[in-house]
Amino acid sequence: MASSPVISVFILFLCTTSSFSLPFIVLHGIGDQCSNKGMTQFTQELSNMSKSQGFCIEIGDGAWDSWFMPLLEQLFAIRWNFSVKKMKELSNGYNIVGLSQGNLIGRGVVEFCDGGPQVNNLVSLGGPHAGTASVPLCGSGIFCKIADALIKSEIYTDYIQEHLAPSGYLKLPNDMDAYLQHCRFLPKLNNEVPEERNSTYKERFSSLKTLVLIMFEQDTVVIPKETAWFGYYPDGQFTPVLAPQQTKLYIEDWIGLKTLDKAGRVRYINVTGNHLGISENDIKKHVVPYLKDEDVTIDNEVPQALAALQGYTSNYTWPTSIKSYFSDLLGLPDIY
């Protein structure tokens, strides 16, 4: 979710016994875009490792829209502009690799989009599946100045919900009524509103072959870190953190997580590192196998790392008209 994700990607020499694997798509996190060097190489290295065809899928204008386009609109941008229905490479099914916020878009594709090809495996790295009780960590760039100004207002107002993507999954345990009534994305995605629960969402989500939930032990971006496993705080308080199996979402099986888990199709994985900081061995062990055909065998030979990608950032230059608009709107004369 951070604007400068840290992803260590290494080239592995893998031996396989299969000649065919489903393709996969990568959905990036907030503040990122597919044209960034890090995302390009991450997608390519996953493809090299798994011997599967991979595609990084852009959402609107990339980094800008990842911050300021509401999540439902981001989902529709994928559905209609990219449209998995139109990509012949995905027609026989595909896998999804989600990075942070991108996991919510990936789940939206699974739950909300009908008539498309089947999603086989969903591999989630640091996804805020149960929400986050804090806004994403930011810095001093244009995104952060605008986001920080917006966040100073009430997070569940119509204006914030329409102009700040993370507001769609910011879940404050001490303001649950406002969250359920006015938060526009996560309550729908998680089937949290009793009178609006949709059994089709549960049916589609529980149709996944495997759900891989990777939590980062030192994560300070999604709060609590256990949200990556669907763990969260009880309603009304910030302690303790409930395990996923202790939440109402799981117990009452609102989206089919319990169904998947009882069928042995959920992998709860804990890795060392901060948000999206994943090692060579963990990529090989916990990501790559789910992008391969199920009969694939993996050789243990791992040569010296050829590349490590650290802290890449966007080089996009924002048009003066856009900067001026938000400067005037939010009273930020130093936005440049």
- Provide the annotated active-site residues: 100, 219, 275
Map residue 310 onto helix, strand or coil: coil
Residues 72 and 65 sit within 8 Å (Cβ to Cβ): no
Residues 216 and 277 sit within 8 Å (Cβ to Cβ): yes
Residues 157 and 258 sit within 8 Å (Cβ to Cβ): no
- In order of 92, 178, 198, 201, 260, the CA distances from 211 in angstroms are 19, 30, 20, 15, 8
- In order of 27, 158, 180, 192, 193, the CA distances from 196 in angstroms are 27, 20, 11, 8, 5
What size, in residues, is the chain?
336
Query: 3-state SS of the chain: helix, strand, coil percent to 5?
Result: 40, 10, 50
CB atoms within 10 A of CB 327: 18
Helix-helix angle 142-151:320-330, to 10 degrees: 30
Following CA atoms 208, 214, 215, 217 in sequence, which dihedral angle do they give, to the nearest 10 degrees?
160
Longest dimension (CA), the chain: 60
Structure tokens at 56: 């990084």
